[in-house]
Structure 1
Amino acid sequence: MSLLTVQNLQQHFPVRGGVLRRAVASCKAVDGVSFELGKGETLGLVGESGCGKTTLGKAIARLLKPTSGQITFDGQDITHKSMGELRPMRRNMQMIFQDPAESLNPRHTVRDILEEPFIVQKIGTKEERRKWVLDLLDKVGLANSAAEKFPFEFSGGQRQRIGIARAIALKPKLIVCDEPVSALDVSVQSQVLNLLLDLQRDMGLSYLFIAHGLSVVKHMSDRVAVMYLGKIMELAPAEMLYHSPRHAYTKALLDAIPVPDPSLRRSRKLLQGDVPSPINPPPGCAFGHRMKHPNWEQSVGMDLSLKEVSPGHWVQLCPCCT
């Protein structure tokens, strides 16, 4: 049974103009996304900046109200639930944000930050919460003395560990990881990624892991979804996607992975053109339009929904990208 099911999710934002600030258009940040996430599974979500990854993560966590579609979490439809109805469900769905400095209240000590989820959910006594805070710090590799310090007294990697401790405080089933290591030094990234893997093994967590780099996603994910201009282009098990990509955009992203050998030369197909505007996306295949592919016009009016080309391997089939 799937822990999370997303069906044809859309997240559009009004674009306002004129003296009366009326909606004159809409920005289609997420435009018809569907996938499932199983218990204890990690689904990697990759794509260029501005493709809608973070917006999708926020919509799933219901930090945004979806325009349309359906989100089913742990057997319940949470698409249209109110904030009051969502509050008890927050125990089972948490989020780790990209910038740990911005996501932690600078006026609160680490103890205050980690106690807050228990206070909001009305769990435990003051003595129990103090003990739980120390347990959380131990789980993420921080000393007990960190509880009385403020976020600015820590390095970026340590702050992200505090953010992770806050996310796991209520023992959730799902964590949306919004580029949790992109703001960290390369030397620290592997430590944080291994911490997330250890916590997943010990707590049975499911991750929606959002990232730019396919190399990071490969280390973390069971399956990978490739997103472009608000839509998923390809979805497959990680090993299958890396060894047998089908969509041209996936191949371009794989070509962009740096090789840790300066003496090695390889042929690369660089992406051409600019990403179309989500306010006025082109008809047909958006990536084919960007690349000015000679077969792009054939994709206009086609059904570009994901098709299963082999067991577990889904691709948006079109005449210019597959």
Structure 2
Amino acid sequence: MSDLLEVNDLKMHFPVRGGITMKQVGSVKAVDGVSFTVKPGETLGLVGESGCGKSTLGKCLLRLYEPTAGQIDLEGRDITRMSQAKLRPLRKDIQMMFQDPAESLNSRFSVRQIVREPLDIQKIGTRKERDAMVEDLLEKVGLPRSAADKFPFEFSGGQRQRIGVARAIALNPKMLVLDEPVSALDVSVQSQVLNLLVDLQKELNMAYIFIAHDLAVVKHISDRVAVMYLGKIVELADSDVIYHSPRHGYTKALLSAIPHADPSYEKNRIRLEGEVPSPIDPPKGSAFGHRINHPRYDETVGMDMKLVEIASGHWVAADPCSLTEEDWQKAKALVSA
């Protein structure tokens, strides 16, 4: 099966300006050399701490940010620097759902106007046909047709997120970028929205990039999981493999922080010392090794810590500060090959 989306060495560096002349004095390396693929109908979970670059990456994929470098191919077409005029008809194939439904829905627009807007922009059908499509979409996401003539403030958080889902699927996209779509909702509502997303994916055969910091949620919905740390992907594998056989030290620490339903369950929590390095001035070597003051950090300065396939379909950064000695020897051999 060919890839729906292919991302190669994507970078998003934001300029930092200072002084009287506001000259650029540095850059925030929010996304710093990310590569991955997504197949039709697949869900790729994207996890990591706040500030690791997950949301920035998602916005780059939709060209809401103009990437500094790298390439984004959508069904074999390079959209990285495509003009807005050429990109507009392709936008129907990849849509985004935002984290906060209260902020992402225009409070001055009715639900009908909000959901119909993508249809208006793409000039799909007549006005009457578009209105009918809006009501059908609302029913599909579990809202009554009468909701079309109300305003976002008249709905609960979970209902507003359903409106966001309706807007995102209005153009029958091939892929949705879901930026923490349930983190602003009550726990009881989260499962309802997640189940809705799973049902819609099966019905419409959409691919998802599911951005979240809650690893339990990601496990529930993802086929594969990519772990980000300081703008880079440090581990990528099938969901079951990531959760049962993590290789990278940062992934292990994240998984150890997942709460367990049984209070008597004794878990070996891995507590990371130190602070996450600044993306303005990242370490010259292993960012994770720098954080935990690893004794092998110095040898990673200038080292190519690219992702290597340490097992079938299991990719991990070749970093001696983050791997067991056995895994590091495998990774080093793969880098040298």
Instruction: Report SS of the residue matched to 2:278.
Output: coil
Map 1:28-43 to 2 at 5 A. Answer: 28-43=29-44
Task: State the Cα distance separating 1:26 from its structure 2 match.
Answer: 0.5
Q: Which residue of 2 aligns with 1:198?
A: 199
Task: State the Cα distance separating 1:292 from its structure 2 match.
Answer: 0.4
Please, what TM-score do these two structures have when normalized by structure 2? Answer: 0.95
Instruction: Report SS of the residue matched to 1:65.
Output: coil
Instruction: Report SS of the residue matched to 1:321.
Output: coil
Residues 237-278 of structure 1 show CA distances to partners (whole Å, capped at 9, x for unaligned) of: 000111110000000000000011223232211111100000
Q: Which residue of 1 aligns with 2:104?
A: 103
Map 1:66-105 to 2 at 5 A. Answer: 66-105=67-106
| Number of aligned positions between the proteins | 322
Q: Which amino acid aligns with 1:205?
A: M
Map 1:10-159 to 2 at 5 A. Answer: 10-159=11-160
2:171 counterpart of 1:174: no
1-side partners of 2:311 and 2:263: how far apart? 36
Please, what TM-score do these two structures have when normalized by structure 1? Answer: 0.99
Taking only aligned residues, the RMSD between alpha carbons, in angstroms, comes to 0.7
Q: Which residue of 2 aligns with 1:315?
A: 316
Instruction: Report SS of the residue matched to 2:113.
Output: helix
Residues 89-146 of structure 1 show CA distances to partners (whole Å, capped at 9, x for unaligned) of: 1111100000011110000100111111111111111111111011100110001111
1-side partners of 2:171 and 2:319: how far apart? 44
1-side partners of 2:271 and 2:73: how far apart? 38
Instruction: Report SS of the residue matched to 2:4.
Output: strand
Residues 8-43 of structure 1 show CA distances to partners (whole Å, capped at 9, x for unaligned) of: 000000000000111100100000000000000000
Residues 206-252 of structure 1 show CA distances to partners (whole Å, capped at 9, x for unaligned) of: 00000001110000100000000000000000001111100000000
Structure 2 unaligned segments of length 5 or more: list them. 324-337
2-side partners of 1:21 and 1:301: how far apart? 31
2-side partners of 1:204 and 1:89: how far apart? 17
Instruction: Report SS of the residue matched to 2:235.
Output: strand
Q: Which residue of 2 aligns with 1:234?
A: 235
Q: Which residue of 2 aligns with 1:290?
A: 291
Map 1:177-256 to 2 at 5 A. Answer: 177-256=178-257
Residues 173-203 of structure 1 show CA distances to partners (whole Å, capped at 9, x for unaligned) of: 0100000000000000000001000000000
2-side partners of 1:57 and 1:167: how far apart? 14
2-side partners of 1:50 and 1:307: how far apart? 24
Deviates more, 1:297-306 or 1:41-50: 297-306
2-side partners of 1:54 and 1:160: how far apart? 18
Determine if contact 2:256/2:267 at 8 Å carries over to the other structure.
Answer: no
Instruction: Report SS of the residue matched to 1:106.
Output: coil
2-side partners of 1:314 and 1:77: how far apart? 25
Deviates more, 1:12-21 or 1:263-272: 263-272
Q: Which residue of 2 aligns with 1:270?
A: 271
Q: Which amino acid aligns with 1:314?
A: W
Instruction: Report SS of the residue matched to 1:141.
Output: coil
